[in-house]
Amino acid sequence: MPHYFSSRDGLGFAFAGIWEQWKREDDTTISSCSIIVGPANKLVEPIHDRMAVILPPKAFASWLNPKEDLNIAKSFLAPYDETKMQVWQVSEAVNKVSASGPELIKAVRE
């Protein structure tokens, strides 16, 4: 059964990510990115053993600063505070690429 995770305060999450641009031998530019995952917090753990690293607002400036001390950046790679999150089960309709609309995040019972 799919699940919907959101913040309790109604604001979005900021995921820790990395990106890079480089040139191939044929001079084409490749841009790539990845969301960093880490251990699950206690809310996510019953569903999956890993989760995206969610950055708290106090970390935004440091995370985005390419000159930041690596140890400070690493300190943000911890499971997010589960008390600031909520979760509920949603319809299997979320698995259809053509599906869209607010009904996709409505809670359903098994």
d(CA 93, CA 103): 9
Give me the pLDDT at residue 22, please. Answer: 93
CATH topology of domain 3-105: hypothetical protein yedk fold (3.90.1680)
Sheet strands (E) in the chain: 3-7, 14-15, 17-23, 29-35, 37-39, 50-52, 54-55, 85-89
Give me the pLDDT at residue 109, please. Answer: 81
Which residue from 40, 26, 22, 25 is spatially nearest to 80, judged by alpha carbons? Answer: 40
Query: pLDDT for 8-59, tens place per residue?
Result: 999 999 999 999 999 999 999 999 999 999 999 999 999 999 999 999 999 9
Q: Is the pLDDT of residue 110 over 90?
A: no
Query: pLDDT for 57-96, tens place per residue?
Result: 999 999 999 899 989 989 999 999 999 999 999 999 999 9
d(CA 31, CA 34): 11
Tell me the C-alpha to C-alpha distance, in Å, between residue 6 and each of 24, 44, 82, 83, 108: 39, 11, 11, 11, 16
The pTM score is 0.83
